[in-house]
Amino acid sequence: MVTRDQIVQWLNNLAEVLAENKEYLTDLDSAIGDADHGINMNRGFKKVIEKLPSVADTDIGNILKTTGMTLISSVGGASGPLYGTFFMRSGMALQAKQELDDGDLYQMLESGVEGIVQRGRPVLGDKTMFDAWSPALEALKAATANGDNTITALEKSVMAAEQGMKDTIPMQARKGRASYLGERSIGHQDPGATSSYLMLKTLLETLQAE
Ligand SMILES: Nc1ncnc2c1ncn2[C@@H]1O[C@H](COP(=O)(O)OP(=O)(O)OP(=O)(O)O)[C@@H](O)[C@H]1O
Ligand SMILES: [Mg+2]
């Protein structure tokens, strides 16, 4: 079971991880974008942390929806609406839940990724955050079907996200600003795939810490 407090802890930890990785993500974005991804994510999650105390004692659905709305209102560009939709959708899928079983956890991530797909229309190989999320979801589903416990299943999912993130390096971007570079986008790791990997890895680390 994943508790409401663990979800709140995940978001707090994520804000810290994104602050630590602000320059790294921005450097990645400077190679194929406009050098703002780390700044965007850090700004957005700083706002999320400000908002969290006011909803931390409600339910997981509401906490995630509030996170999504905060990201949409505080982060511009592509990643604000994409991650904002991710959290809005994941929250809508969980409604009044106070804790999550393995099925709920999968539902949370799958609904979030569906939100990204509806919003940005990425397909596999476009060199976006979806290239990290898609294999991560598949691995999580397979591991759960295999009877793995939550931590083991998430470990496999994080490994798949990491591989998916690395696999964006040889891809040519077909979405967002990076696509304007054409072939020159090849050879660089996608910033959004990297922040998505960090997001999932931080979830795993938060649950492992209990
Ligand atoms: N249509 C899309 N679908 C999914 N992900 C996308 C899409 N467009 C961009 N991204 C993701 O967003 C990341 C860039 O986020 P950033 O915070 O830098 O916003 P941005 O500068 O407005 O983006 P961009 O320049 O790509 O429009 C990319 O690395 C990619 O993973
Ligand atoms: Mg950018």
How far, in Å, is the centroid of ligand 1 from the Cα of 111?
19
Which atom of ligand 1 is found nearest the CA of 193?
A: 31
Amino acid, res. 127: K
Q: Are the beta carbons of 63 and 55 closer than 8 angstroms?
A: yes
> pLDDT above 70 covers what percent of the chain?
100
Determine the residue of 175, 188, 189 to mutate for testing ligand 1's pocket, defined as the one with the most ligand atoms within 8 A of the Cβ atom. Answer: 175
Rg (CA), the chain: 16
| Number of domains making up the chain | 1
Ligand approaching nearest to the C-alpha of 39:
1
SS3 assignment, position 70:
helix
Cα–Cα distance, 24 to 31 (Å, whole number): 11
Ligand 1 pocket, residues with Cβ under 6 angstroms:
29, 33-34, 36-37, 40, 77-79, 82, 116, 120-122, 128-130, 175-178, 190-193
Read off the CATH number of the domain in which 191 is found.
1.25.40.340
- The residue assigned the tokens 């190989």 is 125
How many C-beta atoms surround the C-beta of residue 202 within 10 A? Answer: 21
**pLDDT tens digits for 125-176?**
999 999 999 999 999 999 999 999 999 999 999 999 999 999 999 999 999 9
pTM of the model: 0.97
AA letter at 108: M
Domain that holds residue 196: 2-208
- Report yes or no: 156 and 141 within 8 Å, Cβ to Cβ: no
In tens, the pLDDT along 35-75 reads 999 999 999 999 999 999 999 999 999 999 999 999 999 99
Q: How many Å apart are CA 42 and CA 56, to the nearest integer?
A: 20
Neighbours of ion ligand 2 (CB under 5 A): 29, 33-34, 36-37
